A and B are shown apart, each in its own frame.
Chain A
Amino acid sequence: MPGSRIVVGTFLDEDALLRAARDARARGVPVHDAFTPYPIHGLDEAAGIPPTRLGIVCFVGAALGLAAAFAMQLYTSAVSWPTNVGGKSFTATPALVPVAFEVMVLFAALGTVGALLVRAKLWPGRKPFLPASGVTDDAFVLALEAETDASATVTPAELLREHAARHVQEVEVE
């Protein structure tokens, strides 16, 4: 959501960040995102981040790779130029399994990583949006939506200060 405004605050450790994220959602302040130096377990659920569907991409990639590899091998060795190898059937599948397996893994892996880069909007030369300094080093930053729900009992900045966040400020999402 480029152009929308968020309020960010920096915490010293992951526990404080988790507590603040849970409290914010309980009190009607939507969590925009969090920025941390390493993945924090329980943050998805605390910040209300939906589970990723990249597993489906992986499965589809694998299925495509498997189908493509079998189709290619059957076409080349049974249809286009049938080759007699040891008198076996042209369509004997066991010999085709190793290549089919490798191509399946290749398609699944490249498809999943490709989908990650697309979904997470990562590409070479992209200017990183860093809402506070040190998010890749040791800062645990919670970003709350500046626009709160009507039921909110507290403003985002107050909530962050209540949880002893440092450098609380409002920034625009790039």
Chain B
Amino acid sequence: MSAPVVSTLRQPLTSEPKSCHQVSDEILAPIERGPTALWWAGLAVSCTALLIGSVAVTHQIWTGIGTWGLNKSVGWAWDITNFVFWVGIGHAGTLISAVLLLFRQRWRTGVNRSAEAMTIFAVMCAGIFPLIHMGRPWLAFWMAPYPNMRGPLWVNFRSPLLWDAFAVSTYFTVSAVFWYVGLIPDLALARDRAVGGSWKKKLYGLASLGWNGSARTWSRYEKVCLLLAGLATPLVFSVHTIVSFDFATSVVPGWHSTIFPPYFVCGAIFSGMAMVLTLMIIARRVLRFESYITLGHIGAMCKMTLMTSCVVSLAYMTEWFTAWYGGNPNEWFVVVNRALGPYRGFFWLMVFCNMLVPQLFWFEKVRRCLPAVFVLAILVNVGMWLERFVIIVTSLHRDYLPSSWAEYSPTWVEIATFIGSFGLFFTGFFLFARFLPFIAQSEVKGVIRYARAPSGGGHAR
């Protein structure tokens, strides 16, 4: 018994045959050679965005939430839109690392590490918004059920907003732990390749916990990865389900809908895949990982984007149909108001970006044309942000009482905070790409012989 025989119909997972040592050299190259001018430029731009956001956040904490464009009718708008947008993006990483592990999709090895990093930074960005929306973020610990001198007065465990706090913090913790466990063997390689006595050797040595690739440890390690994948899979579905409960458990027309949990989960995977595509198309080029993140990887992610787009489209149409068929005039009013009311531009742009644009992924020519995929992925990101905005604002701004109808537009503070969240995301991502192995090298080494003859010559079998 040697390596499992794989059908010649399978495509190898790297675009050219590689040896183990070559994989080590190439994957660690970005962290071993010094930073490039392009990296400094990218970091400078993202740090500037982060700075803009920090100024805005400081201003709104100092002055109060009145600096936002909210009013008595529209009490939730950009802030919650951004929260749902970022949590959604955070779903692709765990999907790739956990769900695809359970389904034995080996192509995940090329992109799982960076997609998980993206998840962690996206969830950080998401967490900021509810925190600043509290108005007094230094009292955020009131969300924790700790014994206190006020009775003790406990948190309300029947509130979806509290479920959200538990879900997002658990999701962040488990994703971060899963990511770190995956990093340990790669950090050990970075340690062993660093020059003796250097700060790099010390830091990577500290972080790799004395890993030595022992078969007994690998055996346990693989089991733990499988268990974590089994835990993270229902977790990833639960998180966006609970986010959708924030809306679905209310009695607001347009929110009060049982379709929300699956609709939100699919939308999250849809937006997350689009963000992974956006980042990977740039990263594979800049970091020279074209032979690891191949057109096959891009194509597979395009197909997942297409599939989730179809599910999201079906969910939109189901909502419209139920609103009409259910005969509830308030529900139907919201649907008509979304399509023809003051926010119709956003609504139709959302329909265009989320329902129509991804249909181009049916064509293999489009999936293999990187500039096209990049543009389509950006459009999907825009569309998914608009989806949350449309859901939140159009349901609120014209409620049951026409005398309280109002309109909402963001202030500079809200826009700057949003820019700042992109700054945080990309600063994190740039630091990750510079200091940690961008691709899970130990996992790639396990699949370099996949669908290749033992000589390394491709489809010889």
Contacts and interface: CB of A to CB of B under 8 A. Distances in A.
A157 to B, nearest CB: 20
Interface stretch (B183-191, B252-260, B357-365, B407-415): B183-191
Interface in B133-158: 145, 151-158
Contact of B221 (A39, A58, A80): A39
Interface in B60-117: none
A105 B152 contact: no
B24 A137 contact: yes
B116 to A, nearest CB: 14
Contacts of B366: none
Contacts of A54: 220, 223-224, 227
Interface stretch (A126-134, A144-152, A159-167): A126-134
Interface string A113-131: 1001101111111111111
Given A96-B157, A105-B235, A110-B177, A35 B210 contact: no
A120 B221 contact: yes
**Which 9 pairs across A and B sit closest by C-beta, in order of nearness?**
A126-B210, A138-B20, A76-B154, A122-B209, A34-B215, A98-B163, A39-B218, A38-B446, A95-B158
Interface of A: 14-15, 18, 33-44, 47, 49, 51-52, 54-55, 58, 62, 72-73, 76-77, 80-81, 83, 85, 88, 92, 95-96, 98-99, 101-103, 105-106, 108-110, 112-113, 116-117, 119-131, 133-138
Given A120-B217, A122-B209, A138 B19 contact: yes
16 contacts: A35-B212, A35-B213, A37-B445, A41-B4, A58-B231, A98-B238, A103-B166, A105-B174, A112-B228, A113-B181, A120-B217, A124-B209, A125-B206, A131-B212, A136-B191, A136-B192
B245 to A, nearest CB: 7
Contacts of B214: 33-35, 120
Interface extent on B, as a size class? 35 or more
A73 to B, nearest CB: 5
Given A34-B214, A98-B238, A110-B173, A137 B193 contact: yes
Interface of B: 1-4, 19-21, 24, 145, 151-158, 160, 162-163, 166-167, 170, 173-174, 177-178, 181, 184-185, 188-189, 191-193, 205-224, 227-228, 231-232, 234-235, 238, 242, 245, 442-443, 445-446
A96 B311 CA distance: 29
A133 to B, nearest CB: 8
B426 to A, nearest CB: 28
A37 B214 CA distance: 9
B271 to A, nearest CB: 22
Nearest to B164: A98
A98 B215 contact: no
B158 A77 contact: yes
A54 B226 CA distance: 11
A136 B154 contact: no
Given A18-B1, A52-B219, A105-B235, A38 B442 contact: yes
Contact of B167 (A15, A102, A124): A102
Contact of B20 (A37, A80, A108, A116): A37
Q: Most chain-A CB neighbours within 10 Å: which of B153, B173, B214, B443?
A: B214
Contacts of A105: 170, 174, 231-232, 234-235, 238
Nearest to B239: A102
A120 B214 CA distance: 9
